[in-house]
Amino acid sequence: MSTNHSHAHPEGRAANGYAARPHPEPVVLDIGAPYGALIVHSAPELHGVEVEISPAGDDATRQHKQVLERRMNDRPAFTVVFDRIPEGRYSLWIDDEPRAREVAVAAGEITELDWRI
């Protein structure tokens, strides 16, 4: 896990920069003891939004990824993919507010959450 970070978050929900383009490339997950992966399926309105993850009980230590547009069954899918996550429980954050707590990630497995509206 990375250490604390501090930076401004852009206002609004429009994707820009890296997140603005579709991401057709395959996702390769680095999982296996002691690591798992977490995939969050989100609504299109979250495209480009930064989602942070922190170990349960340690809200200050976070890493982040953006919601990216990918393709799933020839349809757009807006996802955040965290791989190489040590087995344990995690909190997910958007705009410094907890969105989910106690999300379990198991070694060698993929956990999926559905945040679609």
Q: What CATH number does residue 72 fall under?
A: 2.60.40.10
Give the pLDDT confidence of 53-112 residue by residue, as tens digits: 999 999 999 999 999 888 878 888 899 999 999 999 999 999 999 999 999 999 999 999
In a domain? residue 8:
no
In a domain? residue 4:
no
In a domain? residue 24:
no
pTM of the shown model = 0.79
In a domain? residue 1:
no
Q: How many domains in the chain?
A: 1
Q: Which long-range contacts (CB under 8 A, 24 or more apart) does 52-56 make?
A: 52/92, 52/93, 52/94, 53/82, 53/85, 53/90, 53/91, 53/92, 53/93, 54/1, 54/90, 54/91, 54/93, 55/1, 55/88, 55/89, 55/90, 55/91, 56/88, 56/89, 56/90, 56/91, 56/101, 56/102
In a domain? residue 101:
yes
Enclosing domain of residue 54 = 30-115
